[in-house]
Amino acid sequence: MAAAAAWVRAVFLAAVAASAAEALSLDVHHRYSATVREWAGRHTGPPAGTAEYYAALAGHDLRRRSLASAQGEVAFADGNDTYRLNDFGFLHYAVVALGTPNVTFLVALDTGSDLFWVPCDCIKCAPLESPTYGNLKFDVYSPQKSSTSRKVPCSSNLCDQQSSCRSSSSSCPYNIEYLSDNTSSSGVLVEDLLYLITEYGQPKIVTAPITFGCGQVQTGSFLGNAAPNGLLGLGMDSKSVPSLLASDGVTANSFSMCFGEDGHGRINFGDTGSSDQQETPLNIYKQNPYYNISISGAMVGSKSIDTEFSAIVDSGTSFTALSDPMYTEITSSFNSQVKDKQSQLGSSLPFEFCYSVSSKGSINPPNISLTAKGGSVFPVNDPIITITDTSSNPLGYCLAMMKSEGVNLIGENFMSGLKIVFDRERKVLGWKKFDCYSVDNSSKLPVSPNSSAVPPKPAMGPNSYTPEAAKGASPNGTQVNVLQPSASSSLKLHFNIFIAAALLFLVIL
């Protein structure tokens, strides 16, 4: 075993030494997946498809948010798979490895946040293990235990809180207030190695220095079911992971996320898209940089709607939410074309338009698509959710859109079945219909959908966390609120790890 470990270590070091600036990726998971339930040893929580299931997901969404209008490819070392973890919000998650020796974390992927942080030298953090986690146990990061860790001084251009520093050489503090149940994360900034893997040719492990938050104190939702093991910011600010990878020359200043309809997805750093994708310009607001696009119209069934609004494309929001008049125009048109009887399927559901299933049991709702600035059509592949009983028999369905105040969010459900390209260099958002299990010639994704669901480190695993929205205010200063249903959620994670991840796992040992 010692000889084998030495050989693996030698291969790993050789791979790192031979690596150039190439593209990187990681796996993403959804918390209610069957795989996650099996991995966590949990089989409780609202059954998938029931009203309680969707109410639990929606409860993690907009009540937590107030947003402003505003080389080659690589992946995380454990692969480019992402997974929608419903216990932590209807959002995508991935496993990342940091430090030397490395420690693994399950982090939420949020395009509405910037700073990457993990629990670290904890003064006040979520528990590492809990009955609500099932068999899963989290890890924490400690700069003293990593030989490659270094502090980020107050003199760094990434330090936003220099006024709180005692000297320019002091460690840079950070404090992020999230507009959600008095939720915050604070600590100091550190730099260490993030482990990535190339996404084409012979897979190679790549290490990239990354600045992140050593989260010593968390409050509010972060002590419960919201990001107990960290949050990975994918926003447009200079502190976000894509920004740091691009500034270090590791990847191009672009990344993609593929949102599979089954909760399995992909993320690839450095993916600039393909020539056959649809795209639209990003609206750039320097003070509040989000992935904001302009919508010039909508098509609902046979009816064309002439409406203009801007919307934030946000992987940290489960269900799409629009404010009036757009919300009323789209939902009223949808409702007028549905042939099934409108019905209240559950008092906890935040959706206004729900319908019972006809006697034939078929569901044929009107199609919905959005027309973006420039004329590209953004298809909504599955605008509804189907409500089932505990035996998975269909009871009805709802238009999975919520009414908001002052901000428009295109959530994960509208991105289902699409690969979304966040091209920050060209300042465009691109998309195309895509099977997340397929290999895209532009991305060269190393996919193995039938691989076994095994975590890279047995002690690490997901918990019930919900990625939080970015801090800040919406254009008119209002906050979006929806009902907060009581929810008992179960955990679901689907891992898809290829051989290079196994190499990394052995090196960890």
Q: What is the pLDDT of residues 455-478, one digit of tens each?
A: 233 222 222 222 223 222 222 222
- When comparing pLDDT for 78 and 499, which is higher? 78
**314 an active-site residue?**
yes
- The one-letter amino acid code at 66 reads S
Percent of the chain with pLDDT strictly greater than 70 = 68
| Confidence band, pLDDT 50/70/90 cuts, at residue 397 | very high
Rounded to an integer, the average pLDDT of 276-300 is 92
Q: Measure the CA–CA gap between 312 and 132, rounded to whole angstroms.
A: 32
Choice among 12-16, 85-89, 174-178 with the minimum mean pLDDT = 12-16
Residue 421, beta-bridge partner list: 256, 430
3-state secondary structure of 280: strand
Which is the catalytic residue, given 61, 78, 81, 110?
110
Residue 283's pLDDT is: 95
Residue indicated by tokens 């004329």 = 375
Which is the catalytic residue, given 78, 271, 314, 423?
314
**114 an active-site residue?**
no
Q: Measure the CA–CA gap between 110 and 233, rounded to whole angstroms.
A: 5
| Confidence band, pLDDT 50/70/90 cuts, at residue 63 | very low
Long-range contacts of 433-441 (CB under 8 A, 24+ apart): 433/379, 433/381, 434/258, 435/260, 436/258, 436/259, 436/260, 436/264, 436/265, 436/266, 437/260, 437/264, 440/274, 441/274
The model scores a pTM over 0.85:
no
- When comparing pLDDT for 75 and 486, which is higher? 75
Cβ count within 10 A of residue 297: 15
